[in-house]
Amino acid sequence: MEEVDVLSLREAFSRQGIMLGFNGPFSATLMEEIGKALRKHMEGLAESPSAITDVFSAYIELSQNIRHYAASSGVSGAAAEATIIVSRDDAGHYVVSAGNVVLHDDGETLVARIGELAALDKAALKAAFKTQMRKPRDPEAKTGAGLGLIDLARRASQPLACGVKPLDSQHAFFSLRVVI
Amino acid sequence: MNDFEIPATESTPLIRTDRAAGRLEMSGDSYPENSFELFQPVLDWIAGFLGQLLQPLTLELKLLYLNTSSVRAMMDIFDALQDAHDRGQPVEVNWRYDRDNERVADLAAEFKEDYSFPFEIIPGS
């Protein structure tokens, strides 16, 4: 294993405009604490309540999607871990990125779904959100019933971008980038 | 249909019912991982109130950020109010928000579009 090189990590964070990042297994409590830190940080930068809500919301939906997936997919170990990064791009937009280990088929399904959403304008996304909200809910499901990705697309200023890279015969790393 | 109060936490709102006054209050953020567990007692209380009593019911909301599963649960709550309204029972929603936080107003307005009972979105400071 490589030795930890704090300076080179710091430089990589700076180059990529990373404000806050997390990598590893995470609990609901830890997720809340990071969210709280994110809000406080943005308040300190005197960002508007709406901007703070949009970034916070993207962070929460992405984190909860990953936790729900890990709990339901039956993939243990690495799948229960996540990488979540909040950064700013050159234009000053906040960017929330997240990644986790998924089964190949699930990764492909997500890529297809995000591709569909990318083709929709704001009015169509709103309609899709309301349609999805009215779909009967699986009584066993604890999640937002497929609303999370649509909500992310609605809060984003650019179409959602995602990628999936094979890790082994069963697993792939799925990543999603939301520009607010 | 006993009254109950659930204190707010970092990720869940204060929820308080008052049967005698015909009022249910919810205020704060709502982004628990399992929103349905949180809101089930609210749905049960509303169903009990609307099923047993004919007096008016008012929802006093100061909800801020809602995650999507909380949004979905709120839809179930408003649907129950709409059913009562359609039967002729007086129901209303007052959703107060800080005028600086337009996302709250946007969310409330999107709900309001889907219902015909009185639904006030009230800016404050």
The answer to whether B69 contacts A137, with C-beta atoms less than 8 Å apart, is: no
pLDDT per residue as tens digits for the range A112-126 = 999 999 999 999 999
The first and second tokens of residue A110, run together, are 């997500």
DSSP A79: G
Q: Are A20 and A85 in contact (CB under 8 A)?
A: yes
Sort residue A166 into left (φ over 0), alpha (ψ -120 to 50) or beta.
Answer: beta
pLDDT per residue as tens digits for the range B19-71 = 999 999 999 999 998 898 999 999 999 999 999 878 999 999 999 999 999 99
Q: Are A144 and B72 in contact (CB under 8 A)?
A: yes
The first and second tokens of residue A17, run together, are 């405009």
- What distance in Å separates residue B75's CA from the closest CA in chain A? 8
pLDDT at A144 over 60: no
pLDDT at A17 over 60: yes
Angle between helices B102-112 and B68-86 in degrees, nearest 10:
40
| Cα within 13 Å of Cα(A119), Cβ side | 5
The overall average pLDDT reported for chain B is 95
pLDDT at B96 over 90: yes
Q: Are B58 and B84 in contact (CB under 8 A)?
A: no
Backbone angles phi, psi at A171, to 5 degrees: -110, 155
Q: Which residue has the higher pLDDT, A24 or A72?
A: A24
Confidence of residue A74 (pLDDT cuts 50, 70, 90): low
Q: How many CB atoms lie within 10 A of CB A100?
A: 25
Q: Tokens 């349609």 label which residue? A: A131
What pLDDT, on the 0 to 100 scale, is given for residue A136?
81
The answer to whether B36 contacts A36, with C-beta atoms less than 8 Å apart, is: no
* Dist CA A96 CA A30 (whole Å): 17
CB of B40 within 8 Å of a chain A CB? The answer is no
* Dist CA B35 CA B33 (whole Å): 6
The answer to whether B68 contacts A49, with C-beta atoms less than 8 Å apart, is: no
Percentage of chain B exceeding pLDDT 90: 90
- What distance in Å separates residue B8's CA from the closest CA in chain A? 14
Q: What three-state secondary structure class fits A165?
A: strand
Percentage of chain A exceeding pLDDT 70: 92
* Dist CA B94 CA A84 (whole Å): 36
For this complex, say whether ipTM is above 0.90.
yes
pTM of the full predicted structure? 0.92
